[in-house]
């Protein structure tokens, strides 16, 4: 018995090694198609994870990079390629039953009924990547006034305005040795000083002047340092909103979204947007820790946890709320927490 030409030229290979021009057996096990273009989609760690094979007859085949697929060598000579129904439009939903194009040759013995396409072949297009956040213009940045003197003099002025505030004096003493904007601990001290001035001492102007020492710093990709800048941006935004300086508040709110501009890969940008939205929808508001402190009558611990909750609420407010907590509800909660920690 003579082996058929098709059988002689079938071989298995990993999807990751597919190239343009390869002929592969489609998931229905009966038809072949030529690959017109191959793209690799990477996971969040930057490793290739998915092969997107555009087929010459239309449609896209999504295959995990390690999956074994059947490649047909010499398909032009030995294998009769069946027409792809309706060119496998990418927008068609997987469960839809497609029929051959008008005039397409039917497979012998297949009958005249519709041809069901395997769901693995017909793939809806990927959702568009979320639009990148737009940073403020030079004109908008001009709404943030330049510091009145050196960073050390700004800190010194805040300390002189509150000579009896122990928390302010301790932070000012550390910062008086020199403000180093490349130091994460220094940035945290500045952020803590701004929060102490506003939350404990109700000094909005002093808090804003200290916060503005770091709100204009660019995002350098270091999450540790950016946390302090982010907290100061959220605080500055809230202070300006309360003072009716909405345009200036919008500048801080654009700056707090700076990290969202950094990712250029569409897939990674989509995944980052999902993670970011989930964190906004499900913020950690330290409910358990606060209730535990109340139950134990530990007022100092309760205040510390409430300060962390207030920081989370200010962050949400700077983002315009979330899908679960609106701005009006955030305003109410922030007001409640300020009253609680100031009492």
Residue 18 tokens read as 């597919």
Q: Which of these ranges, 11-15, 41-45, 239-243, has the smallest mean pLDDT?
A: 41-45
- Res 325: pLDDT: 94
Long-range Cβ contacts of 43-48 (<8 Å, 24+ apart): 44/268, 44/271, 48/16
Is residue 303 over pLDDT 80? Answer: yes
- Res 74: pLDDT: 60
**Span 56-72, mean pLDDT?**
79
- Res 56: pLDDT: 75
Tens of pLDDT, residue by residue over 282-299, are 999 999 999 999 999 999
**Span 153-164, mean pLDDT?**
96
* Residue 172 C-alpha from the chain's centroid: 36
Residue showing tokens 């009769």: 80
pLDDT band of residue 152 (cuts 50, 70, 90) is very high
pLDDT band of residue 208 (cuts 50, 70, 90) is very high
Q: How far apart are the first and last CA of the chain?
A: 94
Q: Which domains does the chain possess? A: 5-87 (2.30.30.30), 138-281 (no CATH)
Is residue 259 over pLDDT 90? Answer: no
User: How far apart (Å, rounded) are the C-alpha atoms in residues 62 and 175?
Assistant: 56
Is residue 309 over pLDDT 70? Answer: yes
**Span 36-54, mean pLDDT?**
75
33-37, 161-165, 222-226, range with greatest mean pLDDT? 161-165
Tens of pLDDT, residue by residue over 100-130, are 444 444 444 444 444 444 444 444 454 554 4
pLDDT band of residue 228 (cuts 50, 70, 90) is very high
- Res 205: pLDDT: 97
Residue 106 tokens read as 């039917």
- Res 1: pLDDT: 41
The 3-class SS string of the chain reads CCCCHHHHCEEEEEHHHCCCCCEEECCCCCCEEEEEEEEEEECCCCCEEEEEEEECCCCEEEEECCCEEEEECCHHHHCCCCCCHHHCCCCCCCCCCECCCCCCCCCCCCCCCCECCCCCCCCCCCCCCCCCCCCCCHHHHCCCCCCCCCHHHHHHHHHHHCCCCHHHHHHHHHHCCCCCCCCHHHHHHHHHHHHHHHHHCCCHHHHHHHHHHHHCCCCCCCHHHHHHHHHHHHHHHHHHHHCCCHHHHHHHHHHCCHHHHCCCCHHHHHHHHHHHHHHHHCCCCCHHHHHHHHHCCCHHHHHHHHHHHHHHHHHHHHCCCCCCCCHHHHHHHHHHHHHHHHC
């Amino acid at each position: 018995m003579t082996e058929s030409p098709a059988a002689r030229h079938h071989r298995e290979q990993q999807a990751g090694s597919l190239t343009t021009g390869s002929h592969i057996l489609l998931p229905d096990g009966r038809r072949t198609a030529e690959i017109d273009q191959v793209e690799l989609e990477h996971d969040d760690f930057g490793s290739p994870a998915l092969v997107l094979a555009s087929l010459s007859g239309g449609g896209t085949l999504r295959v995990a990079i390690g999956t074994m697929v059947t490649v047909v060598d010499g398909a032009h000579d030995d294998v009769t390629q069946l027409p792809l129904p309706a060119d496998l439009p990418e927008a068609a939903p997987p469960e839809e039953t497609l029929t051959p194009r008008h005039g397409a040759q039917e497979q012998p013995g297949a009958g005249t009924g519709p041809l069901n396409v395997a769901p693995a072949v017909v793939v809806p297009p990927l959702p568009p990547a979320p639009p990148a956040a737009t940073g403020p213009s030079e004109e908008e940045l001009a709404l943030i006034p330049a510091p009145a003197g050196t960073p050390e003099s700004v800190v010194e002025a805040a300390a002189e305005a509150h000579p009896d505030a122990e928390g302010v004096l301790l932070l000012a003493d550390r910062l008086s040795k020199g403000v180093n904007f490349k130091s994460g601990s220094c940035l945290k001290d500045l952020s803590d000083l701004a929060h102490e001035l506003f939350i404990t001492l109700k000094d909005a102007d002093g808090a804003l002047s200290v916060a503005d020492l770091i709100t204009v710093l660019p995002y350098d990709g270091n999450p540790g340092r950016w946390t302090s800048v982010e907290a100061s941006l959220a605080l500055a935004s809230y202070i300006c909103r309360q003072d009716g300086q909405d345009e200036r508040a919008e500048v801080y709110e654009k700056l707090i979204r700076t990290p969202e501009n950094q990712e250029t890969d569409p897939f990674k940008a989509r995944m980052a947007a999902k993670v970011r939205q989930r964190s906004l929808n499900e913020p950690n508001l330290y409910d358990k820790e606060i209730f535990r402190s109340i139950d134990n009558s530990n007022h100092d611990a309760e205040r510390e946890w409430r300060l962390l909750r207030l920081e989370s609420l200010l962050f949400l407010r700077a983002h315009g709320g979330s899908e679960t907590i609106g701005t009006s509800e955030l305003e109410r909660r922030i007001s409640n927490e300020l009253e609680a920690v100031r009492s």
